[in-house]
Amino acid sequence: MNEEAKQEKKDKKAKKDKKPVRIGSPRWVVPTMLALFGIGLLWIIIYYIVPTAPGIGTLGAWNVLGGFILISLGFVVSTQWK
C-alpha cells in the first residue's frame, strides 16, 4: 500500500510539473504579414498615383518590383501562420 501511495504522489507531481504546449503561430506573424501586404500595395498605388514623388520618381518602374517584393515577403511570412 505504501508503494501505491508513493506512485500516486509521483503521478500528481508529474501532472503539476507539465507545462502546457503552445500550439499556433507566434504573435508577430499576423501583424508582420499584414504590414508587408499593406505597405507593398500602398507602394504600388502611390507610384501609380504620384509617379514623380520624391524618392519614388527616381526608381521609376522598379517601384512596381519593390511593391511586389514586399507582397511576396508577406506570403513567405504567411507560411508561418498556423
Q: 12-25 pLDDT, tens per residue? A: 766 666 677 777 88
Q: 28-72 pLDDT, tens per residue? A: 999 999 999 999 999 999 999 998 888 888 898 899 999 999 999
Q: For 39-67, what is the HEC assignment?
A: HHHHHHHHHHHCCCCCCCCCCCCHHHHHH
Where does residue 22 fall: left (phi above 0), alpha (psi -120 to 50 degrees), or beta otherwise? beta
Provide the pLDDT for residue 13.
67
